[in-house]
C-alpha cells in the first residue's frame, strides 16, 4: 500500500528549500516602514500599497506575483544584468530583496523591504526528494569533482534564502581575519554553501516537510486528472530499495545542473563531435574517480550526476603529473586554477573558441574575478595569434607547473593507460599521455522520470514520445537546459490536450494499475536596475487603473505561468533562471497558486 503526501517536490536544491519555507506558512508582505524607508521606485511603491500587512486588503506579495499591473510595470521598467529573459515575477521579488545591484554586497546593505508573517494555518505538509546526500542540490552533490574550496560566482547574499541568510549562518560558525564575520562582496566556498543550505533545511523547513536525500525519482505518472492524483516511483541510492507514494501536487525542482555533458561540442561543426566516452564503456554511476575502461552498470540512475573525472586503469610513467582539462567556461577555468596550486603539474587545456563567440569567461572582469580573467587572457592571446597548434606556457605559473593550450581540438581516442589521441584545429593528429582527465564541458538536467502522460499534460513536444515531425520547441528530456521549457511557461493549454490526457488516464485505470508501470512617500526614484528608456512620468502613474481584484489574473491566455498542468509545477533553473536570487520570485508564484487552490486564501 503506497503512502500519500499532499505535495511532493522533486529536487532538494535552493529553490526547493525556499518553496518549502513558504509552504510552512511563511507569507511575504511589502514593508515600506523599514529603517531604509519605502522602495526608492516611487511607482512600484504606489502599486504595492495593497500588499502591505494590515492594509485591509488581506493580500500578500504572493498575490502580487499575479497582479498584471505590477508585472507589466516591472517588465517594461526593469531589466536583469544577468539575462534578458528574466521573468517579471523574478525581477519583482529581486527588487524587494535589494533595490540596487550593489546592495547585494553584504547582509547589511541589502535593504530588504519584505515583512514575513508566519501563519501556521496556511502550512501544507510536503515531501522533498533529492539525489544529493543532503539538502542543497547540486551544491551538495557527492557525485561531482567540483572542489569544496572552489569559490562561487555569486556573492554570499546572492545565494542567501529568506529567513536565514548565508551571512547569519557564517557568523555563527566562523570569523574572518578582520573579525567582522564576513566581508562585503565575499564569494563563498562551495563547501560552505553546501553546509549553509543543509542548515537552512533544518532551521527553516523542518516542521511540515519530510526530506528524502540520496533518493532518485525514476517515474512520475498521473492516475487521476480531476483530483488530481499522481504516483511517484523512486529508489534509495544507498540501499537500492524502491518505493512509491501518491500525491496531489508535484513540483519539478530537479534543475538543469544534474550531470556533466558527455559530448565535446565543436563550434565549427553543426553537432557534437566524437563522444568523450564510448557509450559501451560509461563509468560506474556514483563514483568520481574511475578507470577509463569500466563495465556498464545496469541501474536506472536518472537523478545522479555522471562522473566528471576519468583516471586511467594503468598510470603512465611521466616526468610530471599531467592533467587534461576539457572546456571553455568557468568550471574549466576553476579547474585550471585548482591544479595550478600544486607544483610541477603539466596542465593541458582543450577548449573551443571563435572570435565571433569567445565564450562565457569574457563576461568576468579582472577586478572581481582575477583568477578567471587571467586564464581568459591567455586563451584569447593564443587564438588571436591564429595558433591552433599546441602552445606551451612554462612560465605561466610560478611553482614549476606549465600550461599547454589546445584550442578547437577534439579527442579521437583514449587508451586504458592514459594515451589520448587528439585532433588539433589545424587537422594535425597528436598524442599525449595523461594521469587524469577533467570533463568541464557543461551540465544538463534530466526529466526522463516524467511519463508520456505527464509530458502530454504539460504540452511537451518530446522526441521519442510523439510520432509527429520534430518542432523547434521539442524537449530532449535527457538533456534539459535552462531554455528547454521556456516555450511552455504560459497558462493557456489547448482543450484537446486536457481531453486527450483524460482519455489516457481513464484507459490506463481500466487496464492496469499505474503502480505496475514503472505608506510613506519615498524621497528618491532611482534604481540601477530601472530601464533607462522609461521615465517615472509614464502611463503607470495613471491612478484610474483597474481594481486590484481585476488586476490579479487567473490563467489568462498567454500569461506567464509556472503551472504545467493541474497540480503540476516547475521552479528553479528549469524555468530558465540560473541564479539563486532570481529563482525566488518563481517559487513565490507557485506557492501563491498552491495556497489559493488549497485554502482559497492566504
DSSP 299-349: ----SSPPP-EEE-SS----SSEEEEEE-SSHHHHHHHHHHHTSTTEEEEE
Residue 297 scores a pLDDT above 70: no
Alpha helices in 392-482 (DSSP H): 452-458
Pairwise pLDDT comparison (155 vs 466), residue with the higher score: 155
Least confident of 140-149, 251-260, 347-356, 499-508: 499-508
Which SS3 state, helix, strand or coil, does residue 407 take? strand
Is the fold of 1-259+444-464+474-491+559-601 the same as that of 321-439?
A: yes
Number of other CB atoms surrounding residue 146 within 10 Å:
20
**Residue the block writes with cell 481531453:** 499
Residue 61 grid coordinates: 506579495
Of 194, 191, 181, 86, nearest to 148 by C-alpha is 191
* pLDDT at 25 (0 to 100): 95
pLDDT tier at 180, thresholds 50, 70, 90:
low
Q: What is the 8-class DSSP label of residue 71?
A: H
Of 519, 536, 528, 588, nearest to 99 by C-alpha is 528
Which SS3 state, helix, strand or coil, does residue 530 take? strand
- For residues 179-193, give the mean pLDDT: 80
* pLDDT at 181 (0 to 100): 65
Residue 29 grid coordinates: 508582505
Pairwise pLDDT comparison (265 vs 223), residue with the higher score: 223
Residue 392 scores a pLDDT above 70: no
Query: What does the mean pLDDT of the chain come to?
Result: 76
Q: Which residues contact 377 (CB under 8 A, 6 or more apart)?
A: none
Q: What is the pLDDT of residues 331-368, one digit of tens each?
A: 888 888 888 888 888 999 988 877 676 677 777 777 77
pLDDT tier at 260, thresholds 50, 70, 90:
low
Q: How far apart are CA 47 and CA 294, in angstroms?
A: 61
Number of other CB atoms surrounding residue 247 within 10 Å:
23
pLDDT tier at 142, thresholds 50, 70, 90:
low
Q: Which residues contact 99 (CB under 8 A, 6 or more apart)?
A: 39, 40, 41, 111, 113, 527
Residue 296 scores a pLDDT above 80: no
Pairwise pLDDT comparison (93 vs 153), residue with the higher score: 93
* pLDDT at 503 (0 to 100): 57
- For residues 219-246, give the mean pLDDT: 90
* pLDDT at 407 (0 to 100): 86
* pLDDT at 552 (0 to 100): 52
- For residues 213-221, give the mean pLDDT: 90
Least confident of 25-34, 51-60, 403-412: 403-412
Residue 104 grid coordinates: 547585494
Residue 116 scores a pLDDT above 80: yes
pLDDT tier at 23, thresholds 50, 70, 90:
very high
Pairwise pLDDT comparison (114 vs 375), residue with the higher score: 114
Per cent of the chain over pLDDT 70 is 70
* pLDDT at 211 (0 to 100): 92
* pLDDT at 47 (0 to 100): 97
* pLDDT at 596 (0 to 100): 92
- For residues 229-251, give the mean pLDDT: 92
Pairwise pLDDT comparison (285 vs 324), residue with the higher score: 324
* pLDDT at 46 (0 to 100): 96
pLDDT tier at 268, thresholds 50, 70, 90:
very low
Pairwise pLDDT comparison (319 vs 504), residue with the higher score: 319
* pLDDT at 381 (0 to 100): 77
DSSP string, 345-389: EEEEEEE---SSS--GGGGS-TTT-HHHHHHHHHHHHHHHTT--S
Contact 112, 34 (CB under 8 A): yes
* pLDDT at 500 (0 to 100): 56
Contact 219, 233 (CB under 8 A): yes
pLDDT tier at 194, thresholds 50, 70, 90:
very high
Residue 479 scores a pLDDT above 80: no
Of 274, 432, 279, nearest to 347 by C-alpha is 432
Beta pairing class for 26-30 and 114-118 = antiparallel
- For residues 456-466, give the mean pLDDT: 70
Alpha helices in 512-579 (DSSP H): 548-551
Pairwise pLDDT comparison (309 vs 549), residue with the higher score: 309
* pLDDT at 253 (0 to 100): 95
- For residues 435-461, give the mean pLDDT: 84
Domain ranges of the chain: 1-259+444-464+474-491+559-601, 321-439
* pLDDT at 512 (0 to 100): 46
Contact 342, 317 (CB under 8 A): no
* pLDDT at 258 (0 to 100): 66
* pLDDT at 71 (0 to 100): 93
Domain 1-259+444-464+474-491+559-601 listed as CATH 3.50.50.60:
yes
Per cent of the chain over pLDDT 90 is 30
**Residue 210 burial (10 A CB sphere; 0-12, 13-18, 19+):** middle
Residue 147 scores a pLDDT above 90: no
Residue 592 scores a pLDDT above 90: yes
* pLDDT at 568 (0 to 100): 95
Domain 321-439 listed as CATH 3.90.640:
no
* pLDDT at 289 (0 to 100): 31
Q: How far apart are CA 345 and CA 340, in angstroms?
A: 7
* pLDDT at 163 (0 to 100): 94
Q: What is the pLDDT of residues 521-537, one digit of tens each?
A: 444 433 445 443 222 33
Pairwise pLDDT comparison (200 vs 283), residue with the higher score: 200
Amino acid at each position: 500500500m503506497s503512502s500519500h503526501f499532499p505535495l511532493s517536490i522533486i529536487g532538494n536544491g535552493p529553490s526547493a528549500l525556499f518553496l518549502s519555507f513558504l509552504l510552512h506558512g511563511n507569507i511575504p508582505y511589502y514593508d515600506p516602514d523599514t529603517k531604509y524607508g519605502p522602495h526608492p521606485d516611487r511607482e512600484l511603491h504606489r502599486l504595492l500599497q495593497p500588499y502591505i500587512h494590515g492594509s485591509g486588503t488581506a493580500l500578500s506579495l504572493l498575490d502580487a506575483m499575479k497582479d498584471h499591473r505590477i508585472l507589466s510595470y516591472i517588465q517594461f521598467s526593469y531589466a536583469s544584468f544577468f539575462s534578458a529573459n528574466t521573468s517579471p515575477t523574478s525581477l519583482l521579488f529581486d527588487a524587494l530583496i535589494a533595490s540596487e545591484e550593489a546592495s547585494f554586497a553584504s547582509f547589511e546593505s541589502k535593504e530588504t523591504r519584505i515583512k514575513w508573517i508566519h501563519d501556521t494555518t496556511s502550512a501544507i505538509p510536503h515531501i522533498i526528494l533529492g539525489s544529493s546526500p543532503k539538502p542543497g542540490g547540486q551544491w551538495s552533490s557527492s557525485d561531482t569533482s567540483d572542489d569544496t574550496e572552489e569559490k562561487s560566482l555569486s556573492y554570499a547574499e546572492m545565494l542567501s534564502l529568506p529567513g536565514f541568510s548565508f551571512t547569519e549562518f557564517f557568523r555563527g560558525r566562523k570569523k574572518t581575519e578582520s573579525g567582522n564575520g564576513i566581508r562585503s562582496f565575499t564569494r563563498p566556498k562551495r563547501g560552505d554553501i553546501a553546509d549553509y543550505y543543509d542548515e537552512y533545511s533544518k532551521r527553516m523547513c523542518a516542521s511540515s516537510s519530510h526530506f528524502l536525500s540520496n533518493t532518485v525519482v525514476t517515474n512520475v505518472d498521473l492516475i487521476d486528472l480531476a483530483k488530481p492524483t499522481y504516483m511517484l516511483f523512486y529508489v534509495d541510492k544507498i540501499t537500492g530499495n524502491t518505493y512509491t507514494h501518491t500525491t496531489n501536487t508535484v513540483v519539478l525542482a530537479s534543475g538543469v545542473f544534474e550531470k556533466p555533458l558527455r559530448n565535446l561540442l565543436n563550434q565549427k561543426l553543426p553537432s557534437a563531435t566524437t563522444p568523450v566516452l564510448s557509450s559501451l564503456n560509461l563509468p560506474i554511476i556514483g563514483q568520481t574517480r574511475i578507470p577509463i575502461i569500466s563495465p556498464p552498470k545496469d541501474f536506472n540512475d536518472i537523478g545522479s550526476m555522471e562522473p566528471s573525472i576519468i583516471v586511467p586503469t594503468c598510470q603512465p610513467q611521466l616526468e610530471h603529473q599531467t592533467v587534461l582539462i576539457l572546456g571553455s567556461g568557468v568550471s574549466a577555468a576553476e579547474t585550471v586554477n585548482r591544479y595550478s596550486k600544486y607544483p610541477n603539474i603539466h596542465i593541458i587545456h582543450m577548449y573551443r573558441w571563435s572570435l565571433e563567440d569567445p565564450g562565457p569567461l569574457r563576461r568576468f572582469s579582472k577586478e572581481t574575478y582575477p583568477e578567471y580573467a587571467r586564464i581568459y587572457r591567455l586563451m584569447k592571446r593564443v587564438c588571436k595569434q591564429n595558433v591552433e597548434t599546441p602552445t606551451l606556457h612554462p612560465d605561466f605559473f610560478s611553482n614549476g607547473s606549465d600550461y599547454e593550450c589546445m584550442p578547437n581540438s577534439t579527442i579521437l581516442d583514449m587508451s586504458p593507460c592514459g594515451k589520448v589521441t587528439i585532433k588539433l584545429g589545424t587537422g594535425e593528429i597528436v598524442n599525449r599521455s595523461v594521469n587524469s582527465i577533467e570533463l568541464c564541458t557543461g551540465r544538463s538536467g534530466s526529466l526522463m522520470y516524467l511519463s508520456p502522460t505527464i509530458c502530454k499534460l504539460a504540452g511537451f513536444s518530446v522526441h521519442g514520445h510523439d510520432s509527429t515531425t520534430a518542432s523547434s520547441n521539442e524537449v530532449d528530456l535527457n538533456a534539459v537546459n535552462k531554455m528547454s521549457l521556456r516555450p511552455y511557461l504560459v497558462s493557456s493549454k489547448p482543450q484537446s490536450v486536457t481531453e486527450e490526457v483524460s482519455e489516457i488516464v481513464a484507459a490506463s485505470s481500466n487496464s492496469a494499475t499505474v503502480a505496475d508501470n514503472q505608506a510613506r512617500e519615498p524621497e528618491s526614484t532611482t534604481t540601477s536596475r530601472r530601464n533607462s528608456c522609461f521615465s517615472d512620468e509614464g502611463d503607470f502613474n495613471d491612478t484610474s487603473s483597474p481594481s486590484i481584484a481585476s488586476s490579479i489574473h487567473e490563467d489568462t491566455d498567454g500569461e506567464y505561468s509556472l503551472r504545467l498542468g493541474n497540480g503540476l509545477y516547475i521552479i528553479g533553473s528549469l524555468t530558465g533562471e540560473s541564479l539563486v536570487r532570481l529563482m525566488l520570485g518563481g517559487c513565490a508564484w507557485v506557492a501563491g497558486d498552491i495556497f489559493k487552490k488549497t485554502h482559497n486564501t492566504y
